[in-house]
């Protein structure tokens, strides 16, 4: 485990086991904090890194992702009471994306649940929440413990990622289907590989002991040299995840465990995640509230927008008309999509304007050589994801 030796009042942020490698490649010295770790925002330029995701193979240090080990006789009933999806349907060595809610049916967080073998589970999520997870464990014979610092993780994403992993020597990696887990050895290093990711592209996530981190990084860089491998930071990943339509906590929603003001919590139904809610699997936290909400229909919903022009609608308010008289919501994430060549955004829109095909108007401010201009741009509610290449699902993946 690579931990900083300085006392935490001098150095509040931890370093991941990949930190030294990342620092060596960082050209612009742009680091940001993430879940208590310092991580790279940009290595070289955002554009170069983004196109590597869509064109070649990228490495992204996932270590700060908060990880909890869940085990014990009641692990399954515990998880099924925690999350809205039916974990009973999750086969051994598989992963599922899910969300969990408070009593009011408001989202506490989203994340992935891994099932290793028969009875061990892992929750991976963006924020720490042992407080909620342990309170949820009252009455269950289950052990829940944070293992973030014990597991190093690396996302290997991009159309050539499978080829890189094969070149690395992970035989049979191509057989892993989306949301499946495989186990490999790389010399003395044990690797757990899941076909998961946050880019909406072909990709894998590698989980290992912190002591293996640098060796695995080096081997990957070597194996991927001819396939354009490149380390990426969070900025490039953010563009890819918006294209893929994925949500980011504290950007697209605020955890109901953190909201101060009333009415800022969001339910999975409002976030367009109704498909993750299984009302037939038995009780889970928030079920009664969500049933009620389902009957009444959500008052607002998170949707994808396709916006006229090419200026990203950062923080834009949305209106029903181009005069800007009636507000109907606001944009949570916005980018110019380099691949789709579309001006896209995720936004929370009030009923009934969130219906597919509806038109709203986004108020965009443009800074043109220090002169601000306000522009009302037509925005249409469109399908998410904005970009979903076939290669992300193909098994075995094509040789790109």
Partner 1 sequence: MTVSAVPSRYDCVVIGAGHNGLVCAATLARAGRSVLVLEAGNQVGGAAVTREFAPGFRVSAGAHLLHLVPAQLLRELQLESHGLKWAARGMGTTALVPGGANLSLSHDGTVLGPSAADAQAYSIFRARMRRFAAALAPALSRSPPRLGTSEWADRLALLRVGWEIRRLGRRDMRELLRIGGMNVHDLLEENFESEALKGALGFDAVLGANFGPRSPGTVLTLLYRLAGESAAGDSGLSQPTGGMGALCNALAEAASAAGATVRTGATVATIVVDGDRAAGVVLQSGESIGARTVISSADPKTTFLRLLGSRHLDAGFVRRVSHIRSRGLAAKLHLALNRAPSFSGAGKASLRGRLLISPSLQHIELAYNHAKYGEFSSAPIMEVTVPTINDPTLAPTGQHVLSAIVQYAPYELKEGWQSGRHRFMETALEALEAYAPGLRSCVVGEELLTPVDLEHEFRTSGGHWHHGDLAFDQFLMVRPVPGAAQYRTPVDRLFLCGAGCHPGGGVMGVAGRNAARQVLTVDLKSA
Partner 2 sequence: MRTPADLDVIIVGAGHNGLVAACYLARSGLKVLVLERQPYIGGAAVSRRVYQDFTYSNCSYVCSLLRPEIIRTLELPKYGLQVIPYEGGCTMMHGGGHLAVYDNHDALRREIARHSKRDAEAYDRYSRDVMRQCKFIKPLLMREPPDPTSFKPRDLKELLYLGKRFHGLGEARMYDTLRFWTMSAADFLDEYFESEIVKAHFAGSSIIGTALGPRSPGTAYVLLHHYMGDIDDTVGAWGFARGGMGAITKALGASFEASGGTIRRAAPVARILVRRGRASGVALADGEEIHAPLVMSNMDVRRTFLETMDAKDLPDEFVRQVKNFKIRGSSGKLNIALDGLPRFPAIPEGSPSTRGDMHVTDTIEMMERAYDDWKDGRWSRAPYIDMLIPSQIDPTMVPDGKHYMSVFVQYCPYKLADGPWDAAKRKAFGDTVINTIAQHSPNFKDLILHAEIRTPWDIENEVGLTEGNIFQGELTMDQLLFNRPVPGYAQYRAPVRGVYMCGSSTHPGGGVMGAPGANAARAVLRDLRMAH
**Contact positions toward partner 1, by CB under 8 A?**
77, 81-82, 102-103, 132, 135-136, 138-140, 282-283, 285-288
- Nearest to partner 2 of 16, 192 (CB atom): 16
User: Per residue, what are the HEC states of the chain?
Assistant: CCCCCCCCCCCCCEECCCHHHHHHHCCCCEEEEECCEEEEEECCCHHHHHHHHHHCEEEEECCCCEEEEEECCCHHHHHHHHECCCHHHCCCCEEEEEEEECCCCCEEEEEEEEEECCCEEEEEECCCCHHHHHHCCCCCCCEEEECHHHCEEEEEECCCHHHHHHHHCCCCHHHCCCCEEEEEEECCEEEEEECCCCCCCCEEEEEECHHHHHHHHHHHHHHHHHHCEEECCHHHHHHHHHHHCCCCECCCECCCCCCCCCCCCCCCCCCCCHHHCCCCCCCCCCHHHHHHHHHHCCCEEEEEEEECCCCCCCCCEEECCCCCCCEEEEEEEEEEECCCCEEEEEEEEECCCCCCCCEEEEEEEEEECCEEEEEEEEEEEECCCCCCCHHHCCCCCCCC
- What residue 260 binds from partner 2, partner 1, none (CB within 5 to 8 A, per partner kind)? partner 2
- Stretch 128-187 residues interacting with partner 2 (CB under 8 A): 128-131, 134, 146
Q: Which of 20, 23, 28, 33 binds partner 2 (CB under 8 A)?
A: 33
Binding mask 315-354 for partner 2 (x = CB under 8 A): ----------------------------------------
- What residue 341 binds from partner 1, partner 2, none (CB within 5 to 8 A, per partner kind)? none
Tokens 């498909």, located at residue:
275
Q: How far is the CB of 142 from partner 1 (least distance, A)?
A: 11
Stretch in the footprint of partner 2 (CB under 8 A) among 87-95, 185-193, 223-231, 257-265: 257-265
Total chain residues near partner 2 (CB under 8 A): 23
Q: How far is the CB of 104 from partner 1 (least distance, A)?
A: 8
Q: How far is the CB of 145 from partner 2 (least distance, A)?
A: 9
Q: Is the backbone peptide bond immediately before 352 cis, with ω within 30 degrees of 0?
A: yes
- What residue 140 binds from partner 1, partner 2, none (CB within 5 to 8 A, per partner kind)? partner 1
- Nearest to partner 1 of 23, 288 (CB atom): 288
- Stretch 351-380 residues interacting with partner 2 (CB under 8 A): none
Six-digit token string for 133: 């997870």
For residue 233, what are the CA distances in angstroms to 1, 17, 23, 336, 388? 22, 16, 12, 18, 21
Query: Under the criterion CB under 8 A, does residue 259 sit at the interface with partner 2?
Result: yes
- What residue 288 binds from partner 1, partner 2, none (CB within 5 to 8 A, per partner kind)? partner 1
- Nearest to partner 1 of 51, 100 (CB atom): 100
- What residue 352 binds from partner 2, partner 1, none (CB within 5 to 8 A, per partner kind)? none
- What residue 138 binds from partner 2, partner 1, none (CB within 5 to 8 A, per partner kind)? partner 1
- Nearest to partner 2 of 7, 357 (CB atom): 7
Q: At what angle do helices 46-55 and 234-244 cross, to 10 degrees?
A: 50
Q: How far is the CB of 102 from partner 1 (least distance, A)?
A: 5
- Nearest to partner 2 of 259, 380 (CB atom): 259
Binding mask 98-127 for partner 2 (x = CB under 8 A): -----xx-----------------------
**Site residues, partner 2 (CB under 8 A):** 7-10, 12-13, 33, 36, 103-104, 128-131, 134, 146, 257-263
């Amino acid at each position: 485990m690579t931990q900083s030796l300085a006392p935490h009042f001098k150095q509040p942020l931890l370093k991941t086991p990949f930190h030294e490698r990342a620092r060596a490649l960082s050209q612009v010295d742009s680091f940001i904090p993430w879940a208590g770790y310092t991580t790279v925002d940009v290595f070289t330029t955002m554009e170069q890194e983004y196109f590597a995701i869509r064109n070649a193979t990228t490495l992204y240090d996932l270590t700060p992702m908060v990880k909890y080990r869940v085990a014990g006789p009641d692990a399954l009933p515990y998880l099924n009471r925690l999350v809205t999806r039916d974990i009973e349907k999750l086969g051994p060595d598989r992963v599922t994306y899910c969300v969990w809610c408070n009593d009011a049916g408001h989202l506490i967080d989203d994340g992935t649940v891994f099932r290793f073998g028969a009875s061990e589970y892992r929750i991976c999520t963006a924020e720490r929440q042992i407080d909620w997870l342990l309170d949820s464990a009252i009455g269950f014979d289950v052990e829940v413990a944070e293992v973030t610092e014990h597991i190093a993780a690396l996302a290997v994403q991009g159309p050539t990622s499978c080829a890189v992993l094969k070149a690395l020597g992970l035989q049979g990696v191509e057989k892993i289907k989306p949301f499946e887990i495989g186990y490999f050895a790389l010399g003395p290093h044990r690797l757990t590989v899941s076909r998961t990711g946050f880019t909406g592209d072909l990709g894998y996530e590698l989980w290992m002991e912190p002591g293996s981190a640098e060796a695995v990084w080096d081997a990957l860089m070597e194996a991927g040299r001819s396939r354009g491998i490149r380390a990426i930071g969070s900025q490039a990943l953010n563009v890819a995840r918006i294209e893929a339509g994925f949500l980011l906590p504290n950007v697209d929603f605020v955890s109901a465990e953190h909201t101060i003001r009333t009415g800022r919590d969001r339910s999975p139904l409002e976030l367009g995640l109704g498909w993750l809610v299984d009302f037939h699997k038995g009780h889970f936290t928030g079920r009664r509230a969500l049933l009620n909400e389902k009957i009444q229909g959500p008052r607002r919903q998170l949707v994808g927008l396709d916006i006229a022009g090419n200026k990203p609608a950062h923080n834009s308010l949305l209106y029903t008309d181009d005069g800007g008289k009636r507000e109907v919501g606001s944009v949570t994430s916005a980018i110019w999509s380099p691949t789709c060549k579309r001006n896209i955004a995720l936004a929370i829109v009030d009923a009934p304007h969130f219906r597919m095909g509806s038109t709203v108007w986004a108020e965009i401010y443009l800074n043109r050589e220090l002169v601000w201009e306000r522009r009302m741009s037509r925005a249409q509610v469109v399908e998410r994801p904005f970009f979903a290449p076939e290669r992300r699902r193909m098994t075995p993946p094509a040789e790109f």
